Structure 1
Amino acid sequence: MNKEQIRSHKSLSRSLQTIMSILDFDLKKEIAKKLKTNKEITIVDIGCGVGRSLWELSNIFSESEVHMNLFGVFYSAKPNPNSIFFANQKRYEEVLKNPLIVANEFNIQTKNKDIPKLFNTDACKYLPIKSNSVDLIYSTNAFHFFADKINAIKEMSRILKTNGIAIINIDRTDDDFWPDNLHFPRLCIHREHKIIDAKKFLQSKSGADFTISIKKVDSYGTGKNSYILKMRKHQKKTLTFPELSFDKKESFSLDNIRFSEQNCEDTIEYKRLIAMGTVFGKKTNKENFGGYLSTYKLKE
């Protein structure tokens, strides 16, 4: 098993406790609070790995009289080539059809009351979940891989119900590497050649329909910084971003740097970052790259 496979396996099988630490948010407490007034709750994990945390939630609340609708979203239609759990397409499809494979693989005792439903989709384009139907969305290790990140936020806002909450790890950075002025290195908003503060922009969308806050936390004791977006819905509306247009020409996968056989500095993607005015704080290392750079033009 190589280093990338080990990292992928750990990421896919994160425990509920690890996820709550990354998000700096007590999911169990939030769920328990909602269950005081509701007999049914719908929860979505976007970029769910193998869905382990959903199984754990099912077991924690198995003695309650409520029904839990648990959905796990794989953000890709194909397996990760570095994953040892999803070694091939056949295995990937087997897990989608039978989530119990996950419970057996990770020795999770199941009480089979509320079985998670797993499905794959491009979360940037469409989430196959009813509008205004979800109480809680969480995502820890998927957002930085999304191509159209703004549309992904829009989709999350659509499926949330009134008073529903989304807790999303937008990006994780090493401040000794990425420029200090970039809160989200993989989400770039610009007007002509000027970079707009994406954190301020997203928080400016707060209003009567939604409240959006973003905080910086230590990412699970790694020494890196995570930016956690919390979105609460107040009205049956969907967030819109008419002032932004997705810039496909200036958006690209940073995995092309990470997994290239060339030196970082010799890759086309690295040269494009430099041309955009990115200045790195220390010697470049392929480990610092990954995910997808999503670029948007801010209209006049």
Structure 2
Amino acid sequence: MSNTRIALVTAAAARDLDEDLPPLVAALDEAGIAHDIVDWDDARLDWSRYALAVLRSTWDYTTRLHEFLDWAERASRATRLLNPLDVIRWNTDKHYLGDLARAGVATVASHFVEPGEDAGALIDRFLHKHAMGEFVVKPSVGAGSRDAQRYEREERDAALAHARRLLDAGRSVLLQPYLDRVDAHGETALIHFDGEFSHAIRKGPLLRRGEGPTRALFAGEHITPRTPGADELRVAQDALAAIAFDTPLLYARVDLIRDGADKPCVLELELTEPSLFFAHADGAAQRFARALARRLA
């Protein structure tokens, strides 16, 4: 096995969509780190050729989860997978939000409906518990806002039909209040390398009223740089400290939105294949390359 060559792991459908790859390739070239861009499901690859396999844009895993996790297990036996297999298993299913909440991390209230459960009764219980104007239905295994939709309370029947479609496909359903401050403030995504804060971006609201779920690989995003508040940095650190695996992780992205009291809370903790938005922060790709160099060393 090469002592230095790394694999940047993507998917065929994502190669031309991953805006992080060009600046990352340039930073790795500058650092003298040999690398290949490879598809996770390429059966011809010998993963033992690589010192590291770094997940970047394996964005089709949500509809192929079992196949993806089987691949991750095989790859982790042949090379060093980053982030590691146990993190990937935990983070690819949003049930992890319950773990964060139980650890005391401020999170968006999250309720799950499992296949075989009475979706109508559980949605009614959820609506009774939360006095919000709108709510979100999404799969517990999902990315890029695919199969996620925003509903008004009066659209309960449409939301139930959406949930049943997911449940009939064997997918768990996540119900969350729609925190409408996101419409004006957007999301804040805080990116960390080796446990250290690198940069943050603002992501505009993705779920627009009256629009159905995106059919694309991911919903279109409006991204701008953002300086996070001290309260956002604290919540992000709380979330990273609650991860029950060996840390620091090579990369982590904490997505926050503000609730009705203007307090930040975790919407998602992205540890598997997050966009890292190198183009929106000077030196970010170089910082990531240095983190990789430390792992190689």
TM-score range with shorter-chain normalisation? Answer: 0.3 to 0.5
Normalising by structure 2, we get a TM-score of 0.32
Considering fraction of residues, name the structure with more helix: 2
- TM-score, normalising length: structure 1: 0.32
